[in-house]
Amino acid sequence: MLFPRLTQLDLTAPLEVFGRMAGVEISLIWKTLDPVASDRGLRLLPTHTFEAAPALDLICVPGGPGQIDLMDDAETLAFLRAMAPKCRWVTSVCTGSLVLAAAGLLTGYRATSHWSSIDQLALFGATPVSERVVRDRNRITGAGVTSGIDFGLAVAAEVLGAEAASRIRLQIEYDPPALPGGSPATADPAVLTPVQQAMAGFIAKRRAASEAAARRLHAHQT
């Protein structure tokens, strides 16, 4: 699924893996067919509208700053609620999991998200898990941004088997060296603190949106 101000790597990292899976057709779905601008200005072209979306085996929701608006977007949440029961896998990368959660699709599930906002999943009755990729039944969620590659390979292994996923990994030369510091658990405090401070205002905005969306979800469920 596309949306304005998504983080493009949340979408393009798994898309790179999915596009190398035999027999796969990829649809980029949004409300209109107009170009959709990412949070860094990259313009992406939808292939289908919500109304014309084909039957899906898997739906994937990326994250990014535009995710905040989606949690109060009745049309988007209704689309996800309608599509999810027909999908074999319901998935997300980064804060896309908060959109799934706002639609009520992660209630009672273990899930992950970007480290800065993973705690917000609990507002929707999900269990936050600080892992790179989390699977709970047919829900598969990836952590922040670059986790989209790990997520895509996990999906490939689930769909096609471990050997096929290994071949794709080799094709894209995904062989990261040991490089700690990319999560709060491994980051130097001298790096972590200013990053947290710089993100604090935006995270507060996201949490306020999550709290409001959680209230709407609980009202919807009752």
Tokens of 65: 């700053």
Among the options 1, 29, 56, 94, which is catalytic?
Answer: 94
Using DSSP, state whether 127 is helix, strand or coil. Answer: strand
Alpha carbons 24 and 37: distance in angstroms, whole number: 25
Per DSSP, the residues of 63-97 read -STTHHHHTT-HHHHHHHHHHGGG-SEEEEETTHH
> Which residue in 127, 135, 84 sits closest to 108, CA to CA?
127
94 is catalytic: yes
Closest CA to 144 of 130, 154, 158: 130
Q: Give the active site residues.
A: 94
